[in-house]
Amino acid sequence: MGLFVLRDCLRLYRDILLKRNRLDLKAFAGALRETGLSILFGITLVSAVVGLIVGKETEDILDKVNIPGLLIGTIGRTIINEFAPLLVGLFVAGRSGVALAVRIGSMVLNHEIDGLVVCGINPIQYTVGPMLLAMLVMSFCLAVWTDLVVVGVTAAWLWFYAGITWSLFLDSLKQVLELRDVVASVVKPMVFSIFIALIAAVNGSLVARRVEEVSRAATRTMISAIAAILLINLLFVLRT
Amino acid sequence: MTSVVEFENVFQHANGRCLLNGVSFSIGHGESFGLLGPNGAGKTVLLRLIMGLDRPSAGRIVVLGQDYDRLSATGFSRLRQSLGLVLQGGGLLNGLSVAENLILPLRTRGESMDLMGRRVRLIMTQLRLDGLENLYPHELSGGVRRKVELARALIQHPKLLMWDELLDGLDPASVIEIQEHLAREKRTRELTILFTTHQPVGVFSLASRVAVLDGGRLLFTGSIEDLSRAGDYDPDLKYALMGWL
């Protein structure tokens, strides 16, 4: 079923590009707000807190082992390669994935999905289509933002408390990071988003008659999405 | 008279229950067909099958000459442009205004925004919904919602209009208004109407032919005069119609 949803989404995007269909701008704007702006404060706060913790821990280790280049490189690479994409994935799953499952479930209960089908419209156009597109755009932006905040706060802490200059920090990162690491760090959350959207769409569509099923769909989406994120991340790690 | 809807021995099962049990009937072009039956009789199930929202477990359905067994998903989408359905319990998109909801069926036709806007204004005037364009479904009363749902079903000039639980939530003035509008549509566009109801009061004047459905079985099909006579000698039908006639 997830594959059918993905196929219909791709067809929708193709038709939009070929001007055979229109992107529902209202739904897309709402989805952008839901997937990005509504979690921006939370993800910034968490990223900053993590940056502070990593900075403090690194400072403590630097007191004992004075090899700043290796330490900063290792920590920076872990943040950019693993931590930031996972954080974005978890936030997107928790906010957008659950919201999408609840929305589709409610639309099934309120016969809104039937209403769209009756009008000859594929429901994907008003549900998963705009949401997935927004999730892809926002995952990219949030990944870049999270990288910047965590790395920036860590670097600021180390500069202030451990006397690590910005140029040393950046040079150490440059030595361990390759272009593909940076690309992977923004691509990974986008891949997570595709799976999150499909999991949410399938769970939301399974709602049949009762309101309780909507909350069940939300919980199932959250758990399945986290599992999927970790598995996909593992595949990325094993591949590199 | 050519058939708009044909059911041949249609069965529908769900969760181990038989919702439709060998239903066969046909509706002719331009007819106003009333499907009567108590709650849970299978009326909505039947409408959903005609609309292609569900597939039958067995049997043959032909609507506007299209055999559902041979119809692709694209074929269904095209056919739906000739069908209008007013669903029981909603169908309007809560996130869209009244005007945006009314435009929905026109979107697949590639019409210009200007033409779509004119059609929305016209149908709203005809059903006395002026001034409600920018309201959202949750801001409307139950009766007005039903009228908006009817407007959405009619805006694409369907050949077959289906209305689940006609008269539900409508006040007498709205019923008269809608009756007049549907009569006009029937005259000018030869609209075929299929409606269901569990409250037959006032419905008999709308229907040219009726059918009685109970427990998924079709107990009767014919004119209203025949229905009152049939009730005298068919105990099942009499029981189903208890208190109606």
Tens digit of each residue's pLDDT (9 = 90 or more) over A58-80 = 888 888 877 878 888 888 888 88
> Taking CA atoms, what residue in A is nearest to B109?
A120
Backbone phi, then psi, for B210, in 5-degree steps?
-135, 160
pLDDT of A218 reads 93
A106: how many CB neighbours lie within 10 A of its CB? 17
Instruction: Decide if A117 and B53 are in contact by the 8 Å CB cutoff.
Output: yes
**Surface of A (79-108) touching B: CB under 8 A:** 107
pLDDT of A222 reads 94
pLDDT beyond 90 at A98: yes
ipTM, 2 decimals?
0.81
Comparing CA positions, the residue from B133, B143, B137, B147 lying closest to residue B180 is B147
Mean pLDDT of chain A: 89
pTM given for the model: 0.81
pLDDT of B242 reads 65
End-to-end CA distance of chain B: 29
Q: For residue A118, which residues of chain B lie inside 8 Å, CB to CB?
A: 51, 53, 80, 83, 85, 87, 91, 153
Distances B71 to A103, B9, B15, B27 between C-alpha atoms, Å: 30, 19, 25, 20
pLDDT of B36 reads 87
Q: Measure the CA–CA gap between A69 and A148, rounded to whole angstroms.
A: 19
Six-digit token string for A237? 């790690």
Q: Measure the CA–CA gap between B122 and B130, rounded to whole angstroms.
A: 9
> Which of A30, A110, A118 is nearest residue B85 as measured by Cβ atoms?
A118
Backbone phi, then psi, for B161, in 5-degree steps?
-105, 130
pLDDT above 70 covers a percentage of chain A that reads 100
Q: For residue B19, which residues of chain A lie inside 8 Å, CB to CB?
A: none
pLDDT digit of tens for each residue in chain B (245 aa)? 678 999 999 999 988 888 999 999 999 988 889 888 888 888 889 999 998 888 999 999 999 999 998 888 888 888 888 898 888 767 888 888 999 999 988 887 777 888 888 999 999 998 888 889 899 999 988 888 888 999 999 998 899 999 888 777 778 888 888 888 888 888 888 889 998 887 766 666 778 888 888 888 888 888 877 877 776 777 777 776 665 55
> What average pLDDT does the segment A131-140 reach?
93
Amino acid at B151: A
Q: For residue A112, which residues of chain B lie inside 8 Å, CB to CB?
A: 90-94
pLDDT of B12 reads 93
Torsion sign across C-alpha atoms B112, B114, B116, B122? negative
> What average pLDDT does the segment A158-186 reach?
87
Q: Measure the CA–CA gap between B215 and B47, rounded to whole angstroms.
A: 15
Longest distance between any two alpha carbons in chain A, whole Å: 69
**Which residues of chain B approach chain A closer than 8 Å at the C-beta?**
48, 51-53, 77-78, 80-81, 83, 85, 87, 89-96, 100, 104-105, 107-108, 152-153
Instruction: Decide if B95 and A117 are in contact by the 8 Å CB cutoff.
Output: no
Comparing CA positions, the residue from A67, A40, A217, A28 lying closest to residue A146 is A40
Q: Measure the CA–CA gap between A88 and A144, rounded to whole angstroms.
A: 10
pLDDT of B95 reads 86
Dump the DSSP string for A185-223: HHHHHHHHHHHHHHHHHHHHHT--S-THHHHHHHHHHHH
Instruction: Decide if A119 and B152 are in contact by the 8 Å CB cutoff.
Output: yes
